């Protein structure tokens, strides 16, 4: 009965979502305060039923109810309990249930924490969110019901979760990612609601900022965890592949980054307002596009989900309606929006504009590379191509390097106009000393000069040095916003350092080794001790043992595995890593290549952790800005003003 309860709760949530889409909107239209106020209670209802529905699926997984088709296809009685729970979002149906649950959660959050909004605005925003929730729930009910039964003949045991997903990464990565994707629905809804009123004021931008930053910070965590997961679990030591689905998560992040910056300018100075609205629409549209790419199977990707054509078609239609509808509204309403302020080329506004342009161009280049295979197939009548990582590296890297250059000076630029004195004269000793120091250190450590690497390292160190100097000068950081901004920028610099050092100075070897063989890579000596059979809860593994030493001193014993999952009949590589702040030692086991010899992959990757530490620091910076007292205080002021102007 439990799955039927879950299904029924999902239907109720769908019905309530439609009510949320309609009732407050009708209230606005008829100026009926009663109807306008229905929003929060309906939103609570949606969330409660969604949570109940989700809980039912979790329960079915934990009880091994293989009469439910989705459970039978993605779980197994031998699966450890934590993976049974995370298997709920291990495939298409359940992950979209999580997506919809999170959408209802954000809706409830908006309904609860929106004292700053006028009645009228709140009703409009909730109606838009209700419409989105209804769209998501309908998608579940009509194309991807996770509660479908396998009756009357259900299997005795499940087909097991894809071994790749039996990992801590699956437990945390998708929920964080979806918090980000779906969270962008809030600034989207707010932009749409504001467009319908035709009043884009500072209150709108101020109200959007914390929501946008929260969603963006979650997305940052999600992408960072995904990269880390790929590194240790895909087994081959890469941390970013320019895979279509990675790009699908990266594009909303890039545009979202542009959005949080342009919102700052819109709030503080009233500039770029219509541009900001367009960014808010684009960010959420790209999130939906990501969902479409992942779930429709139009692109070849390691992440592609189960698909049938109706699902792809449904999302495509939904996508067209959401993007088409919002852009049409924008076209009609945005012409009335005027920005009042003017600014100089060296002002903070101009810096934010540069940030926005570069981020949007970077996004466009990623979008082009991601969708080009589709375009090409249509244009050439079925010829299939792939766009490789070299394209992305060639185009994306120069654009972001310009962006990093702007990041060096932008944090201490001033609104309206920054004097050249502040911009250059006070800083030139630092600007000059940094490249020299980077050159010297790089030469001492690596005995070589790689100009490209040194250039990018210099950019990163510049950003850090200028942040520290700025901090020093201003004595103390008095607002959470400012602290968060500085942490975010510092995080980017840390991640840049991680990327450039890893890419330039990693040593990677694929070799054939027999027990007793040893090999020196980057000063570490790897001795292959042998392979033994190991039994896990639902797999059998060949476990190799490597002794790693450096100048005769013991460093680590690494035991990479080749696992065979008996139910899923899948082979999985489980790399073993000796992590370190300044270097990772990575060993993965390939296949047995005759007698006792094995193919072995050995990596020594300096600074690779900095990529993810940087990413987490960026996200933490985002969360810190949410603590800014200003948002709470100002919101009260805004609500008073808003009530005043509405009256």
Partner 1 sequence: MKFGRMKSHRRNRLLLIVFIVCAAGGATTFALFALNENINLFYSPEQIAQGEAPVGKTIRAGGMVLDNSVNRFGEGLGVSFIISDLKSAQVTVEFEGILPDLFREGQGVIALGQLTDEGVFVAKEVLAKHDENYMPPEVAAALEEAHGPGAVQGAGTGTGTYSGNQGGYE
566 part of the interface to partner 1, by CB under 8 A: no
CA 24 to CA 128: how far, in whole Å?
Answer: 10
Conformation bin of residue 94: beta by default, left when phi > 0, alpha when psi is -120 to 50:
alpha
Stretch that binds partner 1, among 102-110, 267-275, 529-537, 593-601 (CB under 8 A): 593-601
Other CB atoms within a 10 A radius of the CB of residue 165 amount to: 20
**Nearest to partner 1 of 87, 185 (CB atom):** 87
Q: How far is the CB of 9 from partner 1 (least distance, A)?
A: 22
CB of 331 to partner 1, least distance (A): 20
Name which of residues 244 to 273 contact partner 1 (CB under 8 A).
none
Closer to partner 1 by Cβ: residue 26 or 402: 402
User: Checking DSSP bridges between strand 507-513 and strand 598-606, what pairing results, if any?
Assistant: antiparallel
Residues 458-497 that bind partner 1 (CB under 8 A): none
Q: How far apart are CA 323 and CA 284, in angstroms?
A: 9
Interaction with partner 1 in 25-64: which residues (CB under 8 A)?
A: none
Which stretch, 166-174, 353-361, 482-490, 576-584, contacts partner 1 (CB under 8 A)?
Answer: 353-361
Q: Which stretch binds partner 1 (CB under 8 A): 1-9, 151-159, 452-460, 619-627?
A: 151-159
Q: What angle is formed at CA 570 by the lines to CA 568 and CA 575, rounded to 5 degrees?
A: 130
- Cβ atoms of residues 106 and 185 within 8 Å: yes
Is the Cβ–Cβ distance between 133 and 42 less than 8 Å? no
Of the CA atoms within 13 Å of residue 85, those in its CB half-sphere come to 8
Judged by CB under 8 A, the chain residues 320 through 349 that form the site for partner 1 are 342-345
- ∠ at Cα 134 (90, 74), nearest 5°? 15
Decide: is 361 part of the binding site for partner 1 (CB under 8 A): yes
Each residue 415-454 as x (binds partner 1 by CB under 8 A) or -, in order, gives ----------------------------------------
Choosing from 384, 425, 533, 535, the residue that interacts with partner 1 (CB under 8 A) is 384
In sequence order, the β-bridge partners of residue 508 are 603
Tell me the closest approach of the beta carbon of residue 512 to partner 1, in angstroms: 5
User: How open is the CA angle 473-478-482, to the nearest 5 degrees?
Assistant: 80
Expressed in angstroms, the distance from the first to the final Cα of the chain is 52
Q: Is 299 helix (H, G, I), strand (E, B) or coil?
A: coil
Q: Which is nearer to partner 1, 389 or 435 (CB)?
A: 389
Among 164, 280, 492, 577, the residue binding partner 1 under the rule CB under 8 A is: 164
The answer to the question of residue 306 lying near partner 1 (CB under 8 A) is yes
| Separation CA 96–CA 140 (nearest Å) | 7
User: What DSSP designation does 236 have?
Assistant: S
DSSP β-ladder status, 561-565 and 539-550? antiparallel
The stretch among 198-206, 210-218, 307-315, 547-555 that binds partner 1 (CB under 8 A) is 307-315
User: For partner 1, how many residues bind (rule: CB under 8 A)?
Assistant: 71
Query: 3-class SS at 614?
Result: helix
Cβ proximity to partner 1: between 195 and 294 the closer is 294
Q: Report d(CA 223, CA 249) in Å as an integer.
A: 7
Interface region with partner 1, contact rule CB under 8 A, candidates 66-74, 457-465, 485-493, 638-646: 66-74
Q: Is there a contact between 166 and 238 (Cβ–Cβ < 8 Å)?
A: no
**Residue 175 or 590 with smaller CB distance to partner 1:** 590
Q: Note if the bond before 152 is cis, omega within 30 degrees.
A: yes
Instruction: Tell me whether the omega of the peptide bond preceding residue 20 falls within 30 degrees of 0, making it cis.
Output: no
**Whole-Å CA distances, 458 to 59, 453, 494, 499:** 53, 8, 12, 13
x-marked contacts with partner 1 along 83-122 as a string, rule CB under 8 A: -------xxxx-----------------------------
| Minimum distance of partner 1 from residue 472's CB (angstroms) | 31
Residue numbers 491-530 binding partner 1 by CB under 8 A: 510-512
Q: Distance between CA atoms of 138 and 366, rounded to whole angstroms?
A: 31
Indicate the residue among 16 and 140 with the shorter CB distance to partner 1: 140
Nearer to partner 1, 75 or 434 (CB): 75
Q: How far apart are CA 64 and CA 57, in angstroms?
A: 11
User: Looking at 383, 557, 629, 633, which residue binds partner 1 (CB under 8 A)?
Assistant: 383
Q: Which of 283, 290, 305 is nearest to 244 (CA)?
A: 290
- Minimum separation from the CB atom of position 605 to partner 1 (A): 17
Site string for partner 1, 275-304 (x = CB under 8 A): ----------------------xx-x-x-x
β-strand partners of 600: 511, 589
Q: In terms of CB distance, is 148 or 636 closer to partner 1?
A: 148
Out of 4, 507, 591, 636, the residue judged to bind partner 1 by CB under 8 A: 591
DSSP code at position 594: S
Hey, which residues between 165 and 204 contact partner 1 (CB under 8 A)?
A: 165
In degrees rounded to 5, what are phi and psi of residue 558?
A: -110, 135
Tell me which of 388, 523, 530, 579 binds partner 1, using CB under 8 A. 388
Of 239 and 343, the one with the shorter C-beta distance to partner 1 is 343
Residue 510 CB, nearest distance to partner 1 (Å)? 5
CB of 94 to partner 1, least distance (A): 9
């Amino acid at each position: 009965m439990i799955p039927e309860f879950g299904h029924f709760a999902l239907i109720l949530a769908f019905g309530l979502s439609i009510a949320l889409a309609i009732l407050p909107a009708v209230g606005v239209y008829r100026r009926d305060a009663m109807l306008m106020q229905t929003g929060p209670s309906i939103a609570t209802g949606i969330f409660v039923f969604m949570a109940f529905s989700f809980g039912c699926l979790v329960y079915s997984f934990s009880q091994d109810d293989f009469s439910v088709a989705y459970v039978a296809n993605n779980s197994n009685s031998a699966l450890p309990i934590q993976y049974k729970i995370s298997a709920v979002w291990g495939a298409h149906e359940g992950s979209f249930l999580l997506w919809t649950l999170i959408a209802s959660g954000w809706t409830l959050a908006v309904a609860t924490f929106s004292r700053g909004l006028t009645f009228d605005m709140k009703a409009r925003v909730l109606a838009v969110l209700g419409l989105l929730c209804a769209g998501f729930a309908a998608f579940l009910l009509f194309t991807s019901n996770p509660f479908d039964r396998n009756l009357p003949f259900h299997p005795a045991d499940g087909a097991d979760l894809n071994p790749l997903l039996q990992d801590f990464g699956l437990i945390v990565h998708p929920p964080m990612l979806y918090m980000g994707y779906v969270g962008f629905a809030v600034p989207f809804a707010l932009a749409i609601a504001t467009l319908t009123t035709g009043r884009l004021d500072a209150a709108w931008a101020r109200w959007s900022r914390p929501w946008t930053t929260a969603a963006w910070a979650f997305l940052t965590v999600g992408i960072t965890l995904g990269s880390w997961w790929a590194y240790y679990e895909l087994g081959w030591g890469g941390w970013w592949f320019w895979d279509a689905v990675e790009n699908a998560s990266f594009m909303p992040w890039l545009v979202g980054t542009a959005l949080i910056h342009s919102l700052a300018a819109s709030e503080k100075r009233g500039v770029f307002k219509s541009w900001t609205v367009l960014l808010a629409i684009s960010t959420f549209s790209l999130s939906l596009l990501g969902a479409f790419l992942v779930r429709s199977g139009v692109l070849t990707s390691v992440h592609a989900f189960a698909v049938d054509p109706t699902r792809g078609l449904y999302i495509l239609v939904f996508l067209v309606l959401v993007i088409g509808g919002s852009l049409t509204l924008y076209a009609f309403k945005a012409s009335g929006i005027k920005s009042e302020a003017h600014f100089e080329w060296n002002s903070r506004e101009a810096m934010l504009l540069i940030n926005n342009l570069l981020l949007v161009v970077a996004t466009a280049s990623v979008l082009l590379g991601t969708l080009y295979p589709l375009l090409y197939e249509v244009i050439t009548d079925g010829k299939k191509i792939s766009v490789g990582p070299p394209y992305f590296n060639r185009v994306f890297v120069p654009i972001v390097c310009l962006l990093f250059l702007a990041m060096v000076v932008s944090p201490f630029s001033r609104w309206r106009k920054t004097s050249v004195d502040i911009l250059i004269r006070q800083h030139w000793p630092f600007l000059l000393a940094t490249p020299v120091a980077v050159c010297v250190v790089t030469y001492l450590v690596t005995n070589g000069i790689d100009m490209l690497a040194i250039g990018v390292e210099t950019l990163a160190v510049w950003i850090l040095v200028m942040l520290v100097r700025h901090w020093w000068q201003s004595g103390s950081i008095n607002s959470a916003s400012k602290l968060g901004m500085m942490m975010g920028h510092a995080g980017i610099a840390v991640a840049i350092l991680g990327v450039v050092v890893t890419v330039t100075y990693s040593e990677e070897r694929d070799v054939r080794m027999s027990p007793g063989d040893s090999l020196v890579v980057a000063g570490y000596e790897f001795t292959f001790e042998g392979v033994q059979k190991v039994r896990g809860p639902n797999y059998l593994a060949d476990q190799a043992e490597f002794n790693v030493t450096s100048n005769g001193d013991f460093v680590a014993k690494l035991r990479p595995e080749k696992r065979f999952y008996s139910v899923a009949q899948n082979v999985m590589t489980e790399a073993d890593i000796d992590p370190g702040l300044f270097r990772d030692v990575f060993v993965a086991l390939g296949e047995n290549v005759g007698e006792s010899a094995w193919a072995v992959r050995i990596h020594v990757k300096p600074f690779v952790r900095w990529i993810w530490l940087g990413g987490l620091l960026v996200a933490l910076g985002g969360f810190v800005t949410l603590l800014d007292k200003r948002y709470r205080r100002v919101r009260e002021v805004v609500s008073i003003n808003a009530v005043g102007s509405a009256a």
